[in-house]
Structure 1
């Protein structure tokens, strides 16, 4: 899947797994342009501000295998501020950011 990296990237989010084998990927640039499952979308100033605020609340920066032994589970990966972590159970401090990132996949 097409993606981009570099200093202009604010965050990259991936959700994979589940019974249907879902693969979602969202990469948001600092400018507010986002690549969502291969399609470009633009966040307005309010959306970008809310996403940044939600991301600032993240303190879980390590990967964990806890919860991964469940059949058809989802795996969540966040790459933010130089940390890349994959979790099989969504940490509570990720929830606000993930909700905003997943909302972009429903546009």
Structure 2
């Protein structure tokens, strides 16, 4: 599912679904190298600090099907600190990290 895995991966994120069938994947390793929808980018030091701070706020580490009964919903999967969770409603504690990860898809 995610492009690269292993002990050097800081976080892996995927958003899929919606009316257009979007599929976005972002994997960031601990050195600041990111694989974003198949292309490699390097995060600046400030971006890495901000991402790490946002990730530190995550406490929702379990999956839920709440919100999955809505047509054309998005599914969010986050793999961080040994926890992999999939949600259809974005938990508020994921929001800052997800915004930073999705910003990478627009670079």
TM-score, structure 1 as length reference:
0.98
* 1:20-72 alpha-carbon deviations (Å, 9 max, x no partner): 00000000000000000000001000000000000000000000000000000
Mapped to 1, the partners of 2:105 and 2:4 lie a distance apart of: 17
- Gaps spanning 5+ residues in structure 2: where? none
Instruction: Give the SS at the match of 2:69.
Output: coil
**Structure 1 match to 2:31:** 31
Mapped to 1, the partners of 2:4 and 2:37 lie a distance apart of: 12
Task: Report deviation, 1:93.
Answer: 0.1
Moved over 6 A (4+): none
> Is 2:30 the partner of 1:67?
no
1:54-93 to 2 correspondence within 5 Å?
54-93=54-93
Describe the shift of the 1:2–1:66 C-alpha distance in structure 2 as closer, same or farther (beyond 3 A).
closer
**Structure 2 match to 1:45:** 45
Mapped to 2, the partners of 1:2 and 1:51 lie a distance apart of: 18
Mapped to 1, the partners of 2:94 and 2:26 lie a distance apart of: 15
Task: Report deviation, 1:2.
Answer: 6.8
Instruction: Give the SS at the match of 1:66.
Output: coil
TM-score, structure 2 as length reference:
0.98
* 1:76-102 alpha-carbon deviations (Å, 9 max, x no partner): 000000000000000000000000000
Contact 1:2-1:38 within 8 A present in 2 as well: no
